[in-house]
């Protein structure tokens, strides 16, 4: 009997890790989605970011921006969502053109993070959504971040050359000087990489209390995502 009880106790943490309280999915979240999509019929790279607010009653609203075929598109979005105790989450977004996009993911037990993908056939698969604050300022920025940047570019102007982007490094906020934070926790900045990438114009969102930034490049022709995290001292 004692051996059976010990076996059951050993299994309890595994089962507990699979439980989520749907009520915790509420308030503002920022998201980033990247990868390849065949929704248009031809496989192409894409990157998107946005900010949505879950109302705690199955509804959400916010904004979403995407780079596709080198063009930057942005729309307000509304939608519905469902969160379950097994940590699964599904939601759909409708933009102002009337088009719907569907997503599915897994919520962390603390309600702070969702790993997700676009569930429409051919949708991008690398998605992360993280809790953000109701409002932010420059005071929420860390002094120094480590970053990873990846994606590709497509020619949009005469003389442009398509290439892939894959870089890692650190950025000092004081030395960079271009970081501008808006009240909705969006942040705009320039990030200089070694040639041939040069200086990238970036836009993103502060998440996790400013400890991280989810971002993408807004220059014409870019389908490039970036993530920033605390840099070791």
Which of 231, 152, 157 lies closest to 196, judged by CA? 152
DSSP state of 210: G
Backbone conformation region of residue 173, classed left if phi is above 0, alpha if psi is from -120 to 50, else beta:
alpha
DSSP-H helix ranges across 76-201: 173-176
Token pair 């509420």 is found at 26
Predicted confidence pLDDT, tens digits, the chain (233 residues) = 555 544 444 555 444 457 999 999 999 999 999 999 987 788 889 999 999 999 999 999 999 999 888 889 888 999 999 999 999 999 999 988 888 999 999 999 999 999 999 999 999 999 999 999 999 999 999 999 999 999 999 998 888 888 899 999 999 999 999 999 999 999 999 999 987 778 999 999 999 999 999 999 999 999 999 999 999 86
Which domains does the chain possess?
A: 22-131 (2.40.128.120), 138-230 (no CATH)
pTM of the predicted model as reported, rounded to 2 decimal places: 0.89
């Amino acid at each position: 009997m004692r051996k059976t009880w010990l076996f059951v106790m050993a299994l309890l943490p595994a089962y507990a890790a699979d439980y989520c309280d749907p009520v915790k999915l509420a308030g503002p979240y920022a998201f980033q989605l990247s990868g390849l999509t065949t929704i248009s019929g031809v496989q192409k790279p894409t990157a998107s970011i946005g900010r949505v607010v879950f109302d705690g009653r199955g509804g959400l609203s916010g904004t979403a921006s995407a780079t596709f075929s080198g063009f930057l598109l942005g729309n307000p979005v509304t939608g519905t969502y469902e969160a379950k105790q097994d940590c699964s989450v599904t939601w759909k977004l409708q933009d102002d053109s009337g088009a719907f996009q569907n997503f599915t993911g897994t919520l962390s037990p603390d309600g702070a993070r969702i790993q997700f993908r676009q569930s429409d056939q051919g949708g991008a698969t690398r998605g992360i959504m993280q809790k953000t604050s109701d409002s932010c300022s420059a005071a929420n920025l860390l002094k120094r971040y480590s970053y990873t940047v990846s994606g590709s570019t497509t020619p949009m102007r005469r003389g442009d050359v398509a290439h892939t982007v894959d870089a890692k490094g650190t950025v000092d906020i004081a030395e960079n000087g271009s970081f501008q934070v808006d009240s909705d926790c969006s942040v705009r900045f320039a990030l200089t990489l070694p040639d041939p990438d040069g200086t990238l114009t970036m836009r993103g969102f502060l998440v996790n209390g400013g400890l991280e930034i989810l971002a993408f490049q807004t220059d014409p022709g870019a389908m490039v995502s970036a993530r920033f995290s605390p840099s070791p001292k």
